[in-house]
Amino acid sequence: MAIDLKETVRPADGTAVLDLFDERPRLLALGEPTHREETLLDLRNDLFRYLVEQEGYRTIALESDCLKGLLVDEYVTSGAGDLDEVVREGISHEWGDLAGNRELVRWMRAYNTDRPASEQVGFAGFDGPLEITAAASPRQALTALHGYLATHVDADLLPCTRDTLDDLLGADDRWTEPAAMTDPARSFGRSPEATRLRLLADDLAELLDEQEPYLLAATSRPAWDRATLSARTATGLLRYHHWMADTTSARLPRLLGVRDRMMAHNLLALARRGPTLVYAHNSHLQREKSAMRMGGDPLEWWSAGALAHARLGREYAFVATALGTIRHQGVDIPPADTLEGLLYALPEDPCVVDARRLSSILGDTRPAQRVSPWFGYAPFDPAHLSDSDGLVFVRDLRDTSAG
C-alpha cells in the first residue's frame, strides 16, 4: 500500500496536538491502547505540562477512582500528606506504583507551590470506585452526601437519618463479594435493602439539586462539587450493583454502560470547571461504540467519550494512541498492510497524525485490522479514523519492568 503520509504527520509535541483543532477543546481526551506502559505516561506528562504552561489547562483526569482521586487533589493543591502514600492510595487499579504517575503528582505539587488557588492545577479520577470484576460499597459516597445535606439543610427535608443508611448498608463485604461478578446470586444489589437505598439515594441527590442556590451560598463551589460527586457516585454504584444481580443477557452490556455513564458524567462536571486533559484507555474515550469480548461473548456499549461528545460537540476532542511494538509482551513489528504498519515505516517517532486528513487520503481503501497476540493490547481500528481527531503513534515501547 503505497501512500504518502507526509501531509498528515508531525513530530509529537503539544503544539502538534493542539494544531489538530480550530479551537481549544474543553475536554482533550488522550487515549492509550494498553495500560501500565511508562513510555505512554511520559508522553502524557509532557503534553499536560505543555497544556498547563502554554494553553491554560488546569485539570488532568485519569481513569482512576473518583473518590480516591480527592486525596491526590488535596495533596497537589495543599501539600497535605506524603507523596508516596498519596500516589499509592489515591490512584486506583494498582497504578499508583507507576513511576509516570508518581512524577505527574510530584510535578503538579511543585507547580502549585506558592501559586494562588485560581492558578493552581487540579487532579481528578473520573472512573467509578469499581473494576470490571468488582464494585465498592456505596457507603462512602452515600454517607458523604447525607452528611453534607444534614449539616446545611433542615432535618425535616432529609428522606432518612444516618442511622437508617447504616442499617441498610450493613457490612461492606456484602457489597464487595468477589464471587458476585461471575455469580449474580451472590450479589447484594437487588436485595430489599439495596432497593430501598436506591430510592433514598435518588431522594438525597434530588434534594441536593433543589437546594443548590442556598448550598452554594452557604458553603462553597468546591464543597458543592464534592457533594455532587458523592451523589453521582452513590446513585451510580447502586445502579451498578443492581445490574450485578441481573441474570439476563443484558447484564454485562449494562454493567459496561453504567460504568462509562458514570465516567461521562464526571467528565461533564469537570468540563464545566474549565479545560481538562483526560487520559484513559481508547475504548473509554472514542466516539464510536465500544466493543469487546468477555467469556467469548461480543459486548457493545457507548463509551464515556461518545457520551461526552454527544453533550459537548466540538468542545470534546479525542486523540488516540497507536503502537508499533511491545516486545516485552510478545507484540512484534506490525504487518505492513495495517495502519500501525504504515506508521511504523515513518522516520518520525513519536509522531502526531491528523486522523481525518489521513482518512481522506485513504478514501475507500482501509488498512487491514491488526490482530494482537496479547490480550492486554487493543490495536487501533482503522474504521474509526474519521471519528478521531488525531493519533499519537509510538514505534516501540521500552520494557521498564526491570526498573
Predicted confidence pLDDT, tens digits, the chain (403 residues) = 456 787 899 999 999 999 999 999 999 999 999 999 999 999 999 999 999 999 999 999 999 999 999 999 999 999 999 999 999 999 999 999 999 999 999 999 999 999 999 999 999 999 999 987 789 999 999 999 999 999 999 999 999 999 999 999 999 999 999 999 999 999 999 999 999 999 999 999 999 999 999 999 999 999 999 999 999 999 999 999 999 999 999 999 999 999 999 999 999 999 999 999 999 999 999 999 999 887 778 999 999 999 999 999 999 999 999 999 999 999 999 999 999 999 999 999 999 999 999 999 998 888 999 999 999 999 999 999 999 999 999 999 998 875 5
> What is the pLDDT at residue 5?
80
Cα dihedral 209, 212, 215, 221 sign: positive
* DSSP H or E segment with residue 263: helix 251-273
* DSSP H or E segment with residue 296: none
Grid cell at residue 383: 474504521
Phi/psi at 223 (5° precision) = -65, -40
Identify the bridge partners of residue 319 per DSSP, sorted by sequence position: 30, 390
Residue 239: strand, helix, or coil: helix
Rounded to whole angstroms, the Cα distance separating 190 from 245 reads: 6
Q: Could you tell me the pTM of the whole model?
A: 0.96
Closest CA to 90 of 125, 40, 137: 125
> What is the pLDDT at residue 293?
83
Grid cell at residue 85: 502514600
Rounded to whole angstroms, the Cα distance separating 273 from 171 reads: 36
Q: How many CA atoms lie within 13 A of 132 on its CB side?
A: 9
Pairing state between β 351-354 and 390-396 = antiparallel
Phi/psi at 121 (5° precision) = -100, 150
Helix pair 192-210, 162-169: axis angle to 10 deg: 150
> What is the pLDDT at residue 237?
98
Cis link prior to 25 (omega < 30° from 0)?
Answer: no
Distances (CA, A) of 6 to 17, 128, 186, 214, 335: 16, 41, 56, 57, 20
Grid cell at residue 32: 492509550
**Do residues 253 and 299 lie in contact, with contact meaning Cβ atoms separated by under 8 Å?**
yes
User: Position 360: which residue type?
Assistant: S
Rounded to whole angstroms, the Cα distance separating 234 from 183 reads: 23
> What is the pLDDT at residue 119?
96
